[in-house]
A and B are shown apart, each in its own frame.
Chain A
Amino acid sequence: MKVLVVDDFSTMRRIVKNLLRDLGFTNIQEADDGSTALPMLQGGDFDFVVTDWNMPGMQGIDLLKAIRADASLAHIPVLLITAEAKKEQIVMAAQAGVNGYIVKPFTAATLKTKLDKIFERLG
């Protein structure tokens, strides 16, 4: 499964990458914000997107909306990383079509639960 990790903070990308690798995901690419992620998604056959919410340039939520608005990408599940689980924000993200959210900091186990839930929903 090809995963795109989007975060402006490269340390964070590395952390998320390591965690994903622990869970058996090996094909992982990185982007540093929404506006660089989108062309990558359009160009590559990504199966999953893990994105931070707060980024300069294009925010995670806008990336999510852009993904859902693009017919060729709309099917890609998106996991949103946030700093806090503000209800207002999560509702907004859910309405924009997010598949799951995860609150920083998290462990590989938490990430796994979140991913399992998403794939469960996908069938």
Chain B
Amino acid sequence: MSFEADEEILQDFLVEAGEILESLSEELVELENDVDNADLLNSIFRGFHTVKGGAGFLSLTELVDVCHGAENIFDLLRNGQRSVTPELMDTILSALDTVNDMFVLVQNREPLVAADADLLAELHRLSTPEGEEEVSAAPVADTPVVSPVSESSGNDSQDSAVDEMSEDEFEKLLDELHGSGSVQAVSSGTSSHTEETSAQVSQDSSSDEITDDEFESLLDELHGQGAFSAESSDSSSSAVASSSDEINDDEFESLLDELHGKGNAPKIVESSKQDVAKVDIPPAVKPAKKPTPKPSPVSSTAPKAAKKPKQESAKKAPQQASSQGETTVRVDTKRLDQIMNMVGELVLVRNRLTSLGLTSDDEDLTKAVSNLDAVTTDLQGAVMQTRMQPIKKVFGRFPRVVRDLARSLKKDIKLVLEGEDTDLDKNLVEALADPLVHLVRNSVDHGVEEPDIRESLGKPREGTVVLSASQEGDHILLTIKDDGAGMNAEKLKEIAIERGVLDHDAAARMSDKEAFSLIFAPGFSTKTEISEVSGRGVGMDVVKTKITQLNGTVNIDSELGVGTVLEIKVPLTLAILPTLMVVVGEQTFALPLAAVNEIFHLDLSNTNSVDGQLTIIVREKAIPLFYLDQWLVRNFVDKSREKGHVVIVQLGNQQVAFVVDRLIGQEEVVIKPLDRLLHGTPGMAGATITSDGGIALILDIPNMLKFYAKKSPVNKKLRS
């Protein structure tokens, strides 16, 4: 265990074992629905096994213990000595949770805490074949009496109940299998004998022990009475007396001796040690043939046969070796971020060149610039691709989330995942994880009804939650759909009024769809008592804020008694932002294009004031109107305007109109964070370099409204 915990290896382990743990959690939930799936059982077994192996090298003993327990249980399961029960699953899942917790500790460089003793005991109890739990592994210490194989073997006999085969035993085993020293002509019957006897060994002795007597008879059978014992009397190797079903080094050595002749490597069974010794070649080329399984090779030709291909392959090797390499490389995401950043810069330069090219008459330049344009777009796409991850990474945790939740709420819920292979930016995948978990929990907790209620409503007892992802142009659409009770718009309004989020007039004017969005209001909870599940922790408003931060939108629709659909739209990437460039006063500003609904030229005299808020009527809908220059221009002086450019943006269900002085057009920009001095300026998301080489501030619309339109009823509505 004194392996030096190499930092890099530890990192590798965390990444790789982390992946294994993720798929374990998926597989475990899958297993519950498919208890007899042998492949699945094997794969889970191997998962725990592999993590245990790695953890062992890194001296993470606490982790090893838990994995070991789980591994043992799955060993029984896959051998049919146990069956999957919900209780067993609970234990395994809590073991997995413990492992995950330990993982976090390792990641944070904190010392590991040993697993809960109850859990370990339970794991231990379950890792005995079914029906034998009570009879634990007590009778193993069934007095291993040492009776030396030979006169000389008193030296280092193994008389303890060691768990492992000793080196000497192994040596002896090798000798046994291949004929020891002068023992020649191990007949073709050897293998079957050995197998028989070793089978006998495991059957005869109650606890898989191998006793001296048994071992001796094994030797006798292999080499004829006396023949081998004469050999073994020469041997300095110790007697085999280990009493467990595990082998130690000595046992292995003697096994090898037996198999290959004393002190020899596996070789042709018939050829004696002396024969081989004459062939004077380097050790690695020493002719060695398959030993026992099919011991019928022709002794005289075998050494040559073994040697020739060896030489041939030596010649071929150099060319072939080069073609065998790994096809994947692990790259630090920081490096990818860097590349993405540089591509971003390139995009800016491209934008600048394109705009120069437009004003130039030089045809060659125009051509070159449009070429650069195409290449840059491709490069941008390719780099983005490297950062893409399937949404599976997030979806993978949902079967477990839903399973646990449904079990604790005593609901019957089927989770359907669709479009798991949809790719999106790594940062987005991570950022979406929490909001999605919250929304799915919400669907399970508040959406789907209890089985009895469902039945009385004529619905199937089992509720369905569908989680799907798909790419729509430059956006990813995520949908969470349940076939539960749906939401009651009137009830939502009542609660909103009760909580002071909404007044009666506004409520009366509110459409159902707008009312559904009330659940995203801060401090809004449709359940009067806080449920353990989704009534605490992050609220829906946090979910919404988070998604808005990702330049995404949330849309909610519901039908009473039928179910609820939540739609989340997020851009494919966070690094490059399509914007609409506008001029306000003398300055250029960028509005995130995702929010922009429409642009038109408007007669500004045709506005109305409602509730003290300036509004315009667009297609019979009243939309609040704001003059951006009132907010964004220093020393603003009101000027009379008859006509103006109006940009309508969509924020959730709410539309807001902004008057700007001039429209420049659509441009892809790279967001640069604001300097420390400017950091936190309300309504500004960042800055970017425009195609004419200037600087434009990127507007954060919701924040800007929050700050500047404090008194406006719109703001109240938006916050709700």
Contact = CB atoms under 8 A, between A and B. Distances in A.
A76 B267 CA distance: 11
Nearest to B260: A121
Interface in B33-70: 42-43, 46, 49-50, 52-54, 56-57, 59
Given A12-B50, A71-B306, A107 B2 contact: yes
A23 interface: no
A94 B170 contact: yes
Contacts of A71: 289, 305-306, 309
Contacts of B117: none
Nearest to B166: A85
B263 A45 contact: no
B174 A121 contact: yes
B289 A74 contact: yes
Chain A binding surface, main DSSP class: mixed
Contacts of A44: 313, 317, 320-321, 324
A94 B174 contact: yes
Interface in B153-174: 163-165, 167, 170-171, 173-174
A18 interface: yes
Contacts of B320: 43-44
A107 B164 CA distance: 17
A9 B46 CA distance: 10
B297 to A, nearest CB: 9
Interface string A37-81: 000101111011000101110000000010011011011110000
B56 A18 contact: no
B246 interface: yes
A121 B247 contact: no
A91 B173 contact: yes
Given A9-B53, A91-B173, A74 B288 contact: yes
B46 A65 contact: no
Contacts of B253: 117
The winner among A43, A69, A72, A123 for most chain B CB atoms within 10 A is A123
Given A68-B266, A95-B293, A100-B252, A86 B174 contact: no
A9 B16 contact: yes
B260 to A, nearest CB: 7
Contacts of B1: 105, 107
Nearest to B17: A11
Interface in B262-312: 263-266, 276-277, 283-294, 305-307, 309-310, 312
A18 B307 CA distance: 31
Contacts of A113: 167
B445 interface: no
A107 B59 CA distance: 11
A11 B283 contact: no
Contacts of B277: 123
Contacts of A74: 288-290, 306
Nearest to B173: A94
B627 interface: no
Question: Which 8 A-B pairs give the minimum distances between C-beta atoms?
Answer: A72-B309, A68-B290, A105-B56, A90-B247, A45-B317, A122-B283, A85-B164, A43-B320
Interface of A: 1, 8-12, 14-15, 18-19, 29-30, 40, 42-45, 47-48, 52, 54-56, 65, 68-69, 71-72, 74-77, 83-92, 94-101, 103-105, 107, 113, 117-123
